[in-house]
């Protein structure tokens, strides 16, 4: 493991543990009260969900073009994290929405796009797991198609209906709301980096073991 890993992992862990306290110290939001604090986990999850999807998509394209397994490993790790952070986002979102708008789920552009993207990521993992040998390339093609799809899903659902709150919520927040948010964003970002590194490393070790097996056969 590279030198930076242990300190970063430690910091990340510490921040995670501390985050509820940081969130608790933020001001109450006037209309939604306590439940609004889910927002501090929901927003960062959503951002990391998005970033992980982009990482997976780009790595898949690079794998399709170059055939280098490193990109494939990155894509796999990122794909798993898309599913993980997707679950976090899709669970915290409705919990917040229930209090904010009175219903658990709303069919608007952003939520629907997230759901479909999450499903594509799940399909990606299912393909890798059950597709048999050679499914790495197929999965990469799926990831590429998934990425290309995002604007279409967004536009089509958007035209169909729209209710999600405007993105300008973040800049308008007073500092006491801003700090916990950025704190959580950094925490989740570090978490993403740590998990990616761990996962990629497992795959690298696996590849090394396979190579060892193969070299046993050489004259």
Partner 1 sequence: MIRVAWLILRKDLTVEVRSKEIVYTTLFFAVSCVLVFAFALVREGRGPEDGAAGILWIAVMFAGNLALGRTFERERQSETLRALLLAPASRPAVYVGKLLGILVLLFGAELLLIPLVALLFQARLLSHPFWLTAIMATGTVGFAAVGTLFAAMLVRARSRDVLLPVLLYPITVPVIIAGVRGTATLLQPELDAGIIRFWFALLVTFDVVFVTLALWTFETVMTD
Partner 2 sequence: MSSSLDFDRVTVDEVSRHFGRRRAVSRVSFVAPRGSIIGLLGPNGAGKSTLLAMLATLLRPSGGSIRYGTMLAAEAPPQLRGRIGVLGHDLFLYPELTARENLAFFAGLYGRRDADDAARAALTQAGLADRGDDLVAGFSRGMRQRVALERALIHDPRLALLDEPFTGLDEASTSALVARLQRLRQSGAAIVLATHDLDVAEGLLDEAIFLREGRMVDSMSRPEGLRAVYRQAMTGPSRS
- Tell me which residues touch partner 1 (CB under 8 A): 64, 116, 119-120, 123, 126-127, 130-132, 134-135, 137-138, 141-142, 144-146, 148-149, 152-153, 155-157, 159-160
Is 133 or 171 the residue whose CB approaches partner 2 more closely?
Answer: 133
Asked if 219 interacts with partner 2 (CB under 8 A), we say yes
Asked if 132 interacts with partner 2 (CB under 8 A), we say no
Shortest gap between Cβ of 214 and partner 2 (angstroms)? Answer: 5
Among 4-12, 52-60, 106-114, 206-214, the segment contacting partner 2 (CB under 8 A):
206-214
Give the residue, chosen from 2, 7, 102, 133, that forms a contact with partner 2 under the rule CB under 8 A.
Answer: 133
Shortest gap between Cβ of 104 and partner 2 (angstroms)? Answer: 44
Is 148 or 198 the residue whose CB approaches partner 1 more closely?
Answer: 148
CA distance to 24, 38, 155, 181, 197, per residue, from 29 (Å): 12, 12, 31, 13, 37
**Residues binding partner 2 (CB under 8 A):** 133, 210, 213-214, 217-219
């Amino acid at each position: 493991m590279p030198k930076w890993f242990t300190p970063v992992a430690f910091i990340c862990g510490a921040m995670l543990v501390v985050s509820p306290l940081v969130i608790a110290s933020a001001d109450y939001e006037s209309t939604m009260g306590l439940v609004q604090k889910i927002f501090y986990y929901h927003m960062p999850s959503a951002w990391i969900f998005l970033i992980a999807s982009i990482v997976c998509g780009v790595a898949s394209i690079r794998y399709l073009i170059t055939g280098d397994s490193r990109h494939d490993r990155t894509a796999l790790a990122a794909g798993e994290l898309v599913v993980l952070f997707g679950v976090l986002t899709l669970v915290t979102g409705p919990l917040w929405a229930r209090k904010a708008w009175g219903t658990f789920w709303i069919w608007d552009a952003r939520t629907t796009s997230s759901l479909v993207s999450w499903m594509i990521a799940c399909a990606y993992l299912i393909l890798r797991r059950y597709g048999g040998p050679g499914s790495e390339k197929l999965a990469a093609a799926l990831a590429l198609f998934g990425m290309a799809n995002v604007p279409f899903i967004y536009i089509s659902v958007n035209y169909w209906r729209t209710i999600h709150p405007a993105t300008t919520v973040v800049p308008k927040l007073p500092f006491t709301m801003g700090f916990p948010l950025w704190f959580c964003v950094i925490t989740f970002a570090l978490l993403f980096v740590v998990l990616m590194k761990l996962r990629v490393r497992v795959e690298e070790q696996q590849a090394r073991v396979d190579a060892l097996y193969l070299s046993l056969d050489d004259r």
